[in-house]
A = this chain, B = another copy of it.
Amino acid sequence: MPILVMKFGGTSVADLTRIRAAAAKVRAEVARGHDVIVIVSAMAGRTNELVGWVNETSPMYDAREYDAVVSSGENVTAGLMALTLQEMDVPARSWQGWQVPIRTTSAHGAARIEGIDRAAIDAKFTEGFRVAVIAGFQGLSPEGRITTLGRGGSDTTAVAFAAAFEAIRCDIYTDVDGIYTTDPRISARARKLERISFEEMLELASLGAKVLQTRSVELAMRYKVRLRVLSSFEDTDETSGTLVCDEDEIMESKVVSGVAHSRDEAKLTLVTVEDRPGIAAAIFGPLAEAGVNVDMIVQNISEEAQGQDPREVTDMTFSCPTDQVARAQKALEAARDRGEIKYDKLEVDTEVSKVSVVGIGMRSHAGVAARMFAALAADGVNIKVIATSEIKISVLIDRKYMELAVQALHDAFDLDKAG
């Protein structure tokens, strides 16, 4: 029988009533003739409670023990989901990560899935079981310890199972009913997309649209797993939600598919940096080691190179999340103290946001940047930094203009209209 993977996040299994509602969706797919692999998260709030206990016990915790503790929430949901399905006369069995096993690296707290053994689950399907319920977010290290995949890891579990079992689709049930052209809380004209390509979803995920974990989309793209994002809290059918798929499957011809934003960004500028080969490595090496997620990088001729040869000095600007600014400052000052880099001063602006337009159509259409900048200029929004990729243009702007910019761009690219 064709295998379907269905994943339910924490809010979708927050209590026994919601677990029953989720199980009813599974039963409906079984009735449609699928064998189903269900991936469950911990009941909402449970993992936070466990993480809180670990942090209170041991602020510099041993990640092996952290994983042993925090993985228990998913195990509870998996058993309860199997029992709920059995109660609905659907033959179901639960598996914890070590039972399958889901083999991972030893990187506790952020392990990567290396393989999934199909044998035990295939055998149960052959026996007549119709549903395999899998505890998400966890696996087994080569040393036989429980690992976890990092926050949101259940999405990755779901995609990995869909790939291993050659599932017809991987349905991600969550608290929103699909992927939107932009955040509906910012623009009332946001429109739900029927389909979106893996590449666009990846840009949107990494740009702050928090529906899907970036790694799960990467994995889906690599193994061509069709992902569907849909609501746990509404009646759904085969046409519900948004399908994330290969671009070959996309009929819509929009140049731009969506407008993303990331509110809490900071802009840091090293003024009059000594310019020499290797200077970028000398700056960004220490930042990476300090765990700073540098996003946009721009190098300018220094405006303040008074009396100095402008060929010998430069300004280096980069952005990172605001909560990493202190770490970044410390790392840069340490590098200066060690004599690895020289600069006159470090300017920090923590009042900026990032707004991006994303679309695979950009590859073949010119003029997207010009249209974007014109729309922002028409509303008086000053652009501080620009960065582009093949299917994305991002700008850093003053935070107070963020909502305005998102709305202006959504209108400029006619995203409220389908097709």
Contacts and interface: CB of A to CB of B under 8 A. Distances in A.
Given A56-B16, A57-B87, A69 B79 contact: yes
Contact of A19 (B57, B96, B146): B57
Nearest to A96: B68
A65 B62 CA distance: 30
Interface string A335-359: 0000000000000000000000000
Max chain B Cβ within 10 angstroms of own Cβ: one of A58, A65, A75, A94:
A65
A177 to B, nearest CB: 27
Interface string A70-95: 00110110111011101100000110
B83 A79 contact: no
21 contacts: A19-B57, A50-B76, A53-B76, A54-B79, A54-B83, A57-B80, A58-B83, A58-B86, A62-B82, A62-B83, A62-B86, A64-B93, A65-B79, A65-B93, A68-B78, A68-B82, A69-B83, A72-B76, A98-B98, A99-B145, A120-B144
Interface string A196-229: 0000000000000000000000000000000000
B53 A80 contact: yes
A65 B50 contact: no
Nearest to A55: B83
A69 B96 CA distance: 11
A201 B362 CA distance: 81
Contacts of A76: 50, 53, 69, 72
Q: How large is the interface on A (under 10, 10 to 19, 20 to 34, 35 or more residues)?
A: 35 or more
A373 interface: no
Interface string A106-139: 0000000000000010000000000000000000
A69 B75 contact: yes
Max chain B Cβ within 10 angstroms of own Cβ: one of A57, A76, A80, A99:
A57
Contact of A72 (B75, B84, B87, B99): B75
Contacts of A58: 83-84, 86-87
Contacts of A78: 68
Number of copies: 2
Interface in A217-263: none
Nearest to A88: B58
Nearest to A87: B58
Given A50-B76, A66-B83, A68-B96, 7 more contacts: A16-B57, A53-B80, A54-B80, A58-B87, A65-B86, A72-B72, A96-B146
A64 B94 CA distance: 9
A61 B64 CA distance: 32
A45 to B, nearest CB: 13
What are the nearest 10 A-B pairs in CB distance?
Answer: A69-B79, A68-B79, A58-B83, A72-B72, A65-B79, A58-B87, A57-B83, A65-B83, A65-B82, A72-B75
Max chain B Cβ within 10 angstroms of own Cβ: one of A19, A62, A72:
A72
Nearest to A20: B57
A84 B56 CA distance: 10
Interface string A38-61: 000000000000100110111001
A104 B73 CA distance: 24
